[in-house]
Structure formats: structure tokens, C-alpha cells
Amino acid sequence: MTKLASVPINKIRINNNRRPIKQEKVDELMESIRANGLLNPITLDDNWNLVAGHHRLKACEQLGLKEIECHIIVYQDSDRARLAEIDENLIRNELRPLERGRLWLEREEILLRLGLLAKVGDNQYTLTGRNITGSEIISPPIKTAKDLAKESGLSERTYQYDKQIIRNIHPDILQIIENTPIAQRQTALLNIARAGSKERIQAEQAEKALALAKASSNREKQRRQAEIVLNYRTRQKQAQLSVLKSTEALIEAKSSRSRTQNQQKKLYGRLSKLEVNLGDRWKLGENLVYCGDTSSDNFQDLLPKEAALTIATLSSTWKHDYLVEESRIVAVLRKEGYIYDFCRSNKMPFQYELAIGNIYIGIFSRQNISKPPMPVNVENVEGIVNYLLHLYSSPNDCAIAPFMGEGEILAICQRLKRICFIGDDNPQRVSRGIIRWQNMTDKQAQKI
């Protein structure tokens, strides 16, 4: 049963679980209401709880209106009212995969409580009941997944994927993802959700066993089973965190490719001369640059106590096995055909190798580290440096580079807020790297 009425705005109740207001949408509605009035009334239940039209309500409120036109629907109970609210959000609002997934699961939980979970082949349900006077109350028909998908312009498969994302990603990982660009990327979210699937299934089985143990009142059995659950959930979280970091690194590397290329053209257009001599040390903000043999004690004495990552290029005069003692991970870059002989001949403990375009990367560490669980498709050196720094370091970590190259590592460390200790025995390369940093930051390097 539905009726149309004008209701005082200050008497309308808004539930706490509603999505946050988007002011830009409110502003658009205010312009429309000023010009044409409220074309689509909001929806309330018979207790004046808001079911649909939060942005329209807010727009009228900000316009200074005292009353608003409403469709008032009589529902049997709060569950049915919440179903209508969820359906309105799924159809009318542009939601991210995480938001859609949470609403979709909540919807299924309500239908399950009511014993009305839609089955394959069902079209809709009409819920009926009686109010306190004995009159029949008719709630609007409940939509199926197919109905909602059609009305929202999304495929039914999209909804299924959204549910999989919410169900299968560890809650701690979901919290990390919430306000990152990955929250907008369903494919990336699915990759994370599918990581650690074996551990997740084992955790779910262990949680069922824990529920049985609690029913038996055996405290020791409960304790042991709770430890098993925690162990599996921790392993699931670690697996998904690894994929998350790899995904973040890949997205950043791809998005930065054109930006760094354009920046490089701009910077090289502003190059000026800078005199650098062998043995010079330069302070570039928190970064340190050394001109000289980076296998010598002079360079080693400048290095931090423990760096997160070293990025090096393979040379014929390699004497840098010491780097594995100076940083947690050493990544050595070289074109195809060289890395295998190098991995066999050096004394650093080899972990694994990556092939990115035509660049081969040997990863060395005295710690056991996991290989990135997804393929990497980055084509240039700057993209690779971006990827490695995102994957194996965090802001304010120290990174070492025993070769200057074109200053890529120094520039990217500056942008990503890593502290770079870099050197090279070629004064011209050191000069170019310092000038690139100066042009990038508009700061002056200091010779020490």
C-alpha cells in the first residue's frame, strides 16, 4: 500500500547504515529542483524512515524547504524496508565494487532470514501480511539478481564477482584497499580475492570445527581450534597482501610511464653544466651521491646500516656482492643472455628471476622472500624501478644504487619518498643525475 504525502523534512529519520552523501550530486539536484521542482518524490516507510532519495532530501534541505513530497510505503517489517533501500542504492547510484558487494551480501542475508532467497528461474516475490487492524499490507515485489542487474545496467556476473570479492578478501586487506585506486578495479580485486583460496577454505572449515568445539564446552579443544583458525586466516592475509602490493606496484608503474617520459623530456631541456670530479660527495636533500668506485670502502662507508632494496645494473666489472649484506634485497638488471651466467658465478644467495620485456632481473637476498604471484608487464627501466621500489620498500626506507645510469633510480626515489644512496665512477653520468634531481625539485645540490 502506497500513498503520496508532504512530510516535514526535520521529521524524517535517516538510518546510520546509509552511504555517505556526495555533495556534487546534491549540488546538481539543487539546480534541477530550483528550475523544475522535485520531479521524483522520495520514499519513506510508514514510520517516516527514509527508504530512497537521500540526495534529493539533502538537496531540498539545503534549499531551505520545510516539507518534501514523499511516497509512503507500508512494509511488514524493517527487513522489507531495508531491502527496498538496498535495491534503490543498487539501481540508482554509481557504486564501487566493494560498495555493491556489501549491499548485495546484506540483501541475501535479509532474504535468507525471511526464507525468501530467490532461486534460479524465479522472477519476483510479493510479500503480504496484516497490520494491527487486520488489514492486508502489501510490500513491493522483491527483485531478483537478474532484475537488479538489468535495471542498473550491469551484468548479473558483475554482481556475482562483487560478492566473491567481499566474501573472499580478508577483512584487514579490505580495509587497506578501501581508499586506494584498486577499490575501483574489479579485475584487480578478483585477483586478490582468489589469492590464498586454499588457506581461506581451510580457515572456513576450521571455523565450523570451532563452532562445534564451543558447543561441546571443551575449553582446550576450543583453544586449539581457535589457534588453527588464526593460523589459516593469517596465511590467507599474507598471500592476499603479497598480491595487493604487486598489484599496486604494477598500476603505479604503468600509470607513471607516460608521466616520467614527459618529465624526462622537460628535464633534459633544462640541463645545464655541473662540474663533478672523482671522489666528490654530494648531498641532495636526504639523498647522497658519490662519484667514484662504488665497490670501494669509500662508497661502502657512506651507506646506511640497513637498506630495504638495492637496484643495480650488471657490468663487466662487477665487484658488488657485498651489497647483499647492506640491504634486505638486491635486484640486478641486465638484458637477455647475461643474467644466468651472473647468477651462477656470484656469491649472493639467489632467490628467483623475473623477465620484464627484454630486461632480466635477478633477485638476491639472505632472507626467504616470495615471488610476485602475478605476471608483470612493464616495458622500460623507469617502470621496472617503480615496480621494484613499490614492491620491496616503503616511504622513508633507504635504497642503494651503485650505478647512476640516467638518474632514474634517484629521480623515482625522490618522487616516492625513498632515501637514495647512489654512486657511479663516471663524472658525466653523476653530473647528469644531479642536474636531473635539481630540475625535478627546484633545489640545489650541496657538495660535501
Domain containing residue 275: CATH number: 3.40.50.150
Mean pLDDT to the nearest integer, 195-209: 92
Identify the domain boundary among 211, 229, 256: 256
369 with 442, same domain: the answer is yes
pLDDT for the residue 19: 65
For residue 243, is it within any domain?
Answer: yes
pLDDT for the residue 205: 93
Mean pLDDT to the nearest integer, 166-191: 89
363 with 317, same domain: the answer is yes
Concatenate the DSSP letters of all residues of 220-279 into one string.
HHHHHHHHHHHHHHHHHHHHHHHHHHHHHHHHHHHHHHHHHHHHHHHHHTT-------TT
Which residues, listed in sequence order, are joined to residue 288 by a DSSP beta bridge?
283, 421
247 with 298, same domain: the answer is no
pLDDT digits (tens, 9 = 90+) for 236-269: 999 999 999 888 888 777 776 656 656 555 555 4
For residue 219, is it within any domain?
Answer: yes
For residue 96, is it within any domain?
Answer: no
Q: Which domain holds residue 372?
A: 270-447
359 with 214, same domain: the answer is no
Q: Pick the closest to residue 442 from 284, 320, 314, 331 (CA basis).
A: 284
Q: Is the dihedral of CA 393, 396, 399, 404 positive or negative?
A: positive
Average pLDDT, the chain: 81
306 with 412, same domain: the answer is yes
Which residues, in sequence order, are CB contacts of 445 under 8 Å at separation 6+? 274, 282, 283, 284, 289, 434, 437, 438
242 with 370, same domain: the answer is no
Percent of the chain with pLDDT over 70: 79
For residue 63, is it within any domain?
Answer: yes
Q: In this model, does residue 115 exceed pLDDT 60?
A: yes
Structural contact between residues 307 and 398, judged by C-beta atoms closer than 8 angstroms:
yes
293 with 436, same domain: the answer is yes
In whole angstroms, give the CA distance from residue 68 to residue 401.
Answer: 65
Residues in the chain: 448
CB count, 10 Å around CB of 197? 13
CB count, 10 Å around CB of 368? 7
276 with 232, same domain: the answer is no
Using DSSP, state whether 6 is helix, strand or coil. Answer: strand
User: Is the full-model pTM beyond 0.75?
Assistant: no
Q: In this model, does residue 105 exceed pLDDT 90?
A: no
For residue 39, is it within any domain?
Answer: yes
Mean pLDDT to the nearest integer, 335-358: 71
Q: How many domains is the chain built from?
A: 3
In whole angstroms, give the CA distance from residue 222 to residue 226.
Answer: 6
281 with 233, same domain: the answer is no
pLDDT for the residue 421: 97
Percent of the chain with pLDDT over 90: 35
Strands (E), 393-433: 398-401, 419-424
What value, to the nearest 5°, has the Cα angle with vertex 78 and ends 77 and 83? 105
For residue 149, is it within any domain?
Answer: no
242 with 340, same domain: the answer is no
Q: What is the CATH number of the domain that holds 6?
A: 3.90.1530.10
210 with 324, same domain: the answer is no
The CA–CA distances, whole Å, from 294 to 142, 303, 397 equal 71, 10, 20
In whole angstroms, give the CA distance from residue 64 to residue 50.
Answer: 19
For residue 338, is it within any domain?
Answer: yes
**Are β-strands 281-284 and 50-52 bridged in parallel, bridged antiparallel, or unpaired?**
unpaired
209 with 307, same domain: the answer is no
Identify the domain boundary among 58, 73, 88: 73
For residue 435, is it within any domain?
Answer: yes
Q: pLDDT: is 314 or 313 the higher one?
A: 313
Identify the domain boundary among 191, 222, 256: 256
Q: Which three cell numbers stand for residue 103?
A: 549491499
